[in-house]
Structure 1
């Protein structure tokens, strides 16, 4: 593509008077991408998450050994080497292979929690903000009750009631993760509830349900995406904490928190057993934090084009 064609395409995307909704949406996406790509740390975070996705997708190809079976007699607690890059654990299992397969469980947790918690928080926040009155008071007081407890403590209580297991851990984390999203959605709704745009929709005869669903919720999506991305690190740490305490993923699943728990007995002499999964949690959490910071700068409508 020639330089003139590229410039013409850029001018079309940055037009102040778009001719269609598609052009307007593509223009906003292009401006957001320019802001995001200019942030090198945010781009590094994006590459980290893409790498995590690829590792999880091709775990069967990348892992040289089984994540659940090992050579207990000849490969127990071996130091990192060319044969076992991250060493082996107390059951002779290759830690590198377990970390690779553990990335799937990490994605499993964060994706399910995001799918479950974000819509609940969005619905509660927009309904409370638009309705006001006693509806707002009741919904926000329920939200305050959940916010009054530390997330990990509340998740522990729910898992203890539901029973240990990765599915119950996901459900418990989702139950404790929606209140901040509800607060953000309510604040966004209060900002636009009395705007001329919403008044015009009301004069056209739209029902409150349609106004909330079609006109207010889409305005809250960008702020919600940013908060969800920033919360991913906390979700990973909470899931790892539950696994460490034996209330999350159960053996022999290669979940990173459970791997740290099994390696804490050897942390002084065979540090790699707990150190390798701990470093994996650090890298992935840092990647999500960097990505979230970049999205916050890129999707902030009050930021100018840079």
Structure 2
């Protein structure tokens, strides 16, 4: 075996090792997110407690307390006797629903506008990008507070509000990828053959943008979850009748010294989910970069 062959073999082994490490990294990063998704989907079906049912005789009980009916308040109760664990589980569903719907709606709008802007250019590009620049001049959370204050608190209005504030990122990333892709030889060949602009965008340009968009999706999911919690904390997000992590944290801030678990437990859940989504986004970016190489 020659030295060149040995070097080639060592290179292949190292490449396979790095690939396996990244695959395991993806799997490990996915586990916490999958757990939260499962909790959001089936968790409320398994709960014995109604998250809105109050027991004034069981107020401010610490985590692990056994109640009069024999059940256990694993994460304690709040100031009106509601079970904190059941509220967090129901709040998981709200946070995931808002995040997924917002990214789907706002992302779809942003991707479509980014494709149109980058591919056609000219006046269309100038108009779309100037609108995006104007919106970027306002802090996203302040714009969300303004819109939510006008629309009022509801899950639907939160999704609409956050979709309006999030489309810009998708549009700019998609436009950048489109500008690069439309200069490729296969796109020029499609034009010469008479393929319509719509088919070129759908069949040739959009698939080349997917990797960039998927990375942005994971980043935006975490940001949307935080934004929803912020709006609910301020009383502008999900109504009080529907448990939300931000609303739970707001309720517990007045009891942080005497009943720390009311605000701390949903805060921990929020932090774990956001960090897990961000970590998954980093691993996804590494994997997509490797596949593109």
Q: Determine whether 1:289 maps to 2:278.
A: yes
User: Secondary structure of 1:300's match?
Assistant: helix
Runs of 4+ that moved beyond 3 A: 32-36, 301-304
- In structure 2, which of residues 38, 53, 56 is the aligned counterpart of residue 54 of structure 1? 38
Question: Could you tell me whether the CA contact under 8 Å between 2:61 and 2:78 is conserved in 1?
Answer: yes
- Within a 5 Å distance, the mapping from 1:85-164 to structure 2 comes to 85-164=74-153
| Structure 2 residue aligned with 1:63 | 47
Cα distance 1:126–1:236, how it changes in 2: closer, same or farther (>3 A)?
same
| Structure 2 residue aligned with 1:81 | 64
Deviations 1:120-143 (A, max 9, x none): 111111111111111111111011
| Structure 1 residue aligned with 2:203 | 214
Deviations 1:165-186 (A, max 9, x none): 2211111001000101111001
- What TM-score comes out, normalization by structure 2 length? 0.88
Question: Could you tell me whether the CA contact under 8 Å between 2:103 and 2:220 is conserved in 1?
Answer: no
| Structure 2 residue aligned with 1:37 | 23
| Structure 2 residue aligned with 1:265 | 254
Alignment partners' CA distance in 1, 2:111 and 2:61: 49
Alignment partners' CA distance in 1, 2:29 and 2:237: 27
Q: Determine whether 1:230 maps to 2:219.
A: yes
Alignment partners' CA distance in 1, 2:47 and 2:39: 9
| Structure 2 residue aligned with 1:5 | none
Alignment partners' CA distance in 1, 2:46 and 2:281: 28
Alignment partners' CA distance in 1, 2:23 and 2:247: 36
Calculate the aligned-residue CA RMSD, in Å: 2.0
Deviations 1:141-174 (A, max 9, x none): 0111111111111111111111122211111001
Gaps of 5+ in 2: 1-17, 66-71
- What TM-score comes out, normalization by structure 1 length? 0.85
Question: Could you tell me whether the CA contact under 8 Å between 2:114 and 2:170 is conserved in 1?
Answer: yes
| Structure 1 residue aligned with 2:11 | none
Question: Could you tell me whether the CA contact under 8 Å between 2:256 and 2:263 is conserved in 1?
Answer: yes
